[in-house]
Structure 1
Amino acid sequence: SAALLNLTKKRLLFSNDALSLDVILGDNVRYNFDYFLDKGFYWSIGLRSRYNEFHKNIIAGLILSPDQIEQTGLNKLDIELSDWTHQFFLQTLFRRDFALSLGLEQKHLKIISETFVEDQDKETTFENSDFLSAFGQLKFDTFDNKYFPGKGFLFDGDFHWYLSSSDFNNNFSPFSIAKANIGYAFKPATNFSVTLGSQGGFKIGEDSNNSLNFALGGYGNDLINNFIPFWGYDFISITGNSFVKGYINLDYQWLKNHHMLFSANYSNTGDDIFENGEWITNPDFSGYGIGYAIETLIGPVEARYSWSPETGRAIWFFNLGFWF
């Protein structure tokens, strides 16, 4: 359970700026802060800050090395993760349609667990580092609806170059992470829409830290870091330093603002899949979802049932209101 507080203020310091602050008070405290000074086709200025925390049982591969997993015999860990990230960026319109952002990011990431105990300590700290990175983002979005697109095209690319770290584990070396999401929505018939898409990402460099690797599973539009939604699996169930994912969403709007939904996704995820050719083999992971959603004043209200042939498990996902 949680309570959402929102503050939005336009023309705070200038006639063309805007400030937004969202705070969640509850089991998992978090906030999003955004300030943007809009200069149109010139370089606009942005500040962004967010804090997220959660407590969850996750696959051990996001934290432990293959040798540690083999030595301990652990497949999953119960962790507490906190992420505090700040960004300063400049943004302009590239060729009048693409939003191009260039900036700097400071991130503090902490991961602890009581599952993996050394020297009789109460808890084990797997990560407690500050990361400094330069980043670039390129986005083109003509979707007519963020949550239930009926037509349009989406390209969302992101590149982070991690330059330095306080290096809690003494294993940091500079590395980069690139990822992209491409989607196309169209209506083959009245009130029926199809969205086809593909995602992918990879790490460049020899850094052995896994905490910023890709982790697939769960459902959501605003997941942090390199967490990627994937039907049929719980959050952070599939991990690796590279991945490819294809998906299709079917949406039948039989009444205004009422949606009957079907989704399917497929992925290859692991370490160095673009180097060993695994990315073009038959998918190792697949999942499907059916659901019902209603568009309301507070955002989409959804119930989704998902399953995966590989696990034989079914998972329900519920959403009430706008994603945050």
Structure 2
Amino acid sequence: MLNPRFLFLLILIALSACIETQSSKGQEDTPNAAPQVPTNPSGRMVSLLGTVLPPKQLSERVMGKRLEQLEDARKKYESDPENLDNIIWYGRRMAYLGRYQEAIRIYSIGLDLNPNSYRLLRHRGHRYITVRKFDAAIEDLQRAAFYARPAENKIEPDGLPNRLNKPLSNDKFNIWYHLGIAYYLKGNYDKAISSFKKCITYADNDDLIVATTDWFYMTYRKIGNLPAAQELLAPISRRMNIVENYAYHQRLMMYQGHYQPEDLLDKADRDNDSIDPTIGYGVANWYLYNGQVDIATELIDKILRNPQWDGFGYIAAEVDKVSLGNL
């Protein structure tokens, strides 16, 4: 005859196994269950210099609106988590709040389902740049370029609409543009040049032309090829139809000699302690090209005191600060 305590133990084990089986079966039978995305609103970020970066600064009104948009995107995602647009918009809305690590996790979940999606790879590659993981960005964007080759090129919808509420960029432009920037930040200027050459073929409006030309110009100047850099400026004129990329246009006007560096600094949103990263990085580079390293270093330091640490100009300033520190 079995010991009563042993018999009781057997019954408990059997009941536990039954409950676990029913629980697992219930999860398997739930259609389209959305994978859980870890929540980490603080999103601790560290710069290339090893400093902890502050949370993204947004006004109360903008924060409220973006949180509403995120909640709407989350509901759509959870209602149909295999829908590619739902995955992309959930990630984009998360990123617009500065929660870049969470956005990357969302894109990664999507890529588990759609490993060849050039759209997901393009967005994750972009955000890998933001979190300073340049090698991962390059890998994603190279794959995006490969898978996008046979696809029809389409306008990419805006998450933060411009003043005309008119999207300006397209899928293939965004892939090559971000790949070029990732190579530039990595210091692989030959591949950056190849990427920007490809990118410019998809630049079908003045905003895209000035954005590409500016990074392309800086890349040539980094390797000391002034004639090639100057040649890029030929199509650039004062009377271009610019909707968004005013800073890039003004920087190109400075390279052409229409503006002096101080003219741009006067236009920049700056105070005695910091400066707008987009304008500031172009001007700092101009001083570097012309051998005025002390002024360039001072401007880079002011860029790095600006709270807009997620912009490409700020990230590039970090890269140059590291380089200047190693001279």
Q: Which structure shows the bigger proportion of residues in helix conformation? A: 2
Structure possessing the higher radius of gyration over alpha carbons: 2
TM-score (norm 2): 0.30
Q: Which has the higher contact order (CA 8 A, sep 6+)?
A: 2
Q: Which structure shows the bigger proportion of residues in strand conformation? A: 1
